[in-house]
Amino acid sequence: MAVLLYDNAFSGNCYKVRLLLTLLGIEFERREVSVVEYGERLATLRGLSPTLNIPAVVLDDGRPLAESNAILWYFAERSRYLSEDPYERGQVLQWMFFEQYKHEPGIAVPRFWDAIAPERFPRPDDLKVRRASGRDALKVMERHLREHAYFVGERFTIADIALYAYTHVAPEAGLDLEPLPAVRAWLGRVAAEPGLIAIED
């Protein structure tokens, strides 16, 4: 039985999982779930994801797991994409929690509103507030990447995968990467990683 991925082609959170599984050579089957039609989620994702969100996977033994970064960690264990060193592992999680707390809400959400569902803006100022928070998150990355080639241990790990997913499409959220040369150089290094697939693949 192959891994089953409840997926969406547009979602950066789902892309993270497709990307890592491909790099690891793990076979998976994609089941497309709409990011707009919330009605179908209860039927599809009940018992698989506590929040009824994608990505969610069903492992080859039938057990479910949700939350993009938890799925990355599960599959990356004992691979070259996650260190064995306790301190580096703590740092990988530090950047992955930063990604979900500060980065994704400031980039994924305005990108979704802009590109997919502009009628879902709850209030007119929200887009501005979200973008400002996305801009702050990108500046945090820029400061780190001025002195480091990657986020942890000077090599490509799942911390880079987690942060690459929405950073490389930040312009689709109305966020300019031009003033962030260290971020742009890092995007280039990640894109050159052997075996990397694109979000639209």
Instruction: Give the count of residues interacting with a second copy (CB under 8 A).
Output: 37
Rounded to a whole number of angstroms, the minimum distance from the CB of residue 67 to a second copy is 4
Rounded to a whole number of angstroms, the minimum distance from the CB of residue 186 to a second copy is 14
The residue whose two tokens read 């001025």 is: 146
Among 89, 116, 182, 189, the residue binding a second copy under the rule CB under 8 A is 89
Rounded to a whole number of angstroms, the minimum distance from the CB of residue 66 to a second copy is 5
DSSP 43-90: HHHTTT-TT--S-EEE-TTS-EEESHHHHHHHHHTTSTTS-S-HHHHH
Residue 99 burial class via C-beta count within 10 angstroms: exposed 0-12, middle 13-18, buried 19 and up = buried
Rounded to a whole number of angstroms, the minimum distance from the CB of residue 90 to a second copy is 4
Distance between CA atoms of residues 157 and 72, nearest Å: 10
Q: What are the tokens at 125? A: 């100022």
Q: Is 98 in the site for a second copy (CB under 8 A)?
A: yes
Return residues touching a second copy (CB under 8 A): 50-51, 59, 63, 65-71, 73-74, 77, 86-87, 89-91, 93-98, 100-102, 104-105, 122-123, 125, 129, 140, 143-144
